[in-house]
Amino acid sequence: MTTVALTPAEFVNQFYPNFWWIPAGVLAAALAIKLPSIIRLWKDPMLRAVGGLLLLACAVFVFVAPSTIARVNRLTGVANFSGPWVYSLLTAFCAFCLLLIISWRNGLSDRSERTRRAMRGVVAVYSGVIVAMWVLFALADVPVERLRDLDTYYANTPYMREVIVLYLLAHTVAALVTNGLIWNWVRTDGLDSLLRWGLKFLGVGYAAQLFFDAAKISAVVARWSGRNVDWLSTAVAPPLACLSAVLIAVGFILPHAGQYLHGRWHVRLAHHELRPLYLLMRSVNGTGVPLLLRATPELRLVRRETFIRDVLLPLARHIDEDRRERFHDAALALGHPPGLARTLAATAAILDAADAGTRTQEDDGTGARDTTELLREIGAVSRVLRRTEDLRAIRALARDHTDGKSLTG
């Protein structure tokens, strides 16, 4: 039994009926990722616009699948009704992309006449294209249902030819303009790194759309000149459309999802960094923060910070300031920078107070002092607690100096 290797065109043709569900699934997943944020922040027009764009793009790939095309044609009773329907969805998607990029680039606060005029122009032109396509389709004679090659099969048919040209031109112009806006924006100084990467994905995605348009237009023009290169439309264009959809979905999702994940990572990192100081304060207090199974990372961080400060406040009032100064001098003598030396000294003083069990003593007020800076720097103190060797060396050196003074005295 021999196995015949498939050419790229044959491979695409073999899987063409199910090919379109791949980008539809990717876009649906991207929409599902964004949906909680869209619902929670429904008043944010930019989030709503991104959600609408993803939904519209997903609809394009659902309705372009051959099985869906056949079902829509059968339900409407009009041969090739899916043609102008898919073209309309794709044209609306192009207009939506332009509007979103204009709004995103200029900012929601930009209400200049130039911005409003550009957005009105996009709506007017692309609405006119959609209306013209339906009028031309109604005039065209397209009785033979085509599930895959409608563009090339009817490339020379009056009125349907104009429908095909209109949607290809509208798509190409939108891809060119959007590409230009995106790459000009990428070169802008001061962009957030996640936004810049999102724009790069969008730029590559819209560049793939231009190659898609080139393949489609080449196949149609070849039909006009009597040649047949339909494989450009049926085998080359579909993978480019899928690639473009995936890249555009990533481009729109990355800045928002990336910022969310970045924020979550910092919250979890801050919670983890406070663990050494939390364990120390728990040993002083005798108990820790009660466990809440459904607590969000932000709430767990706030609860840990609050607990640390509540325990550290009375403990800090019993810190021996003279010993703290000796710890500071010892840290400087060991070559630590001034900022780190202050934190090491404060941490060593806290350890001394905790070891002495001073928190259990009544505060008579004589030890009261300003603890604002110490309570504000709990993150730095907790990080320094991991430097056990440095703290041990500082405490030992300070103790040696104290013993030496007492001996000489």
Distance CA 310, CA 289 (A): 11
User: How many helices (H) and strands (E) would you count in the chain?
Assistant: 18, 0
Distance CA 45, CA 409 (A): 75
Q: How many CA atoms lie within 13 A of 24 on its CB side?
A: 13
Instruction: Summarize pLDDT for 220-255 with one digit per residue, the tens.
Output: 999 999 999 988 988 888 888 888 888 887 887 777
Choose the weakest-confidence range: 60-69, 121-130, 284-293, 337-346: 284-293
Instruction: Summarize pLDDT for 347-399 with one digit per residue, the tens.
Output: 888 888 887 764 444 444 444 455 666 777 888 888 888 888 888 888 888 77
Which residue from 209, 271, 268 is spatially nearest to 240, judged by alpha carbons? Answer: 209
| Residue 159 confidence (pLDDT) above 80 | yes
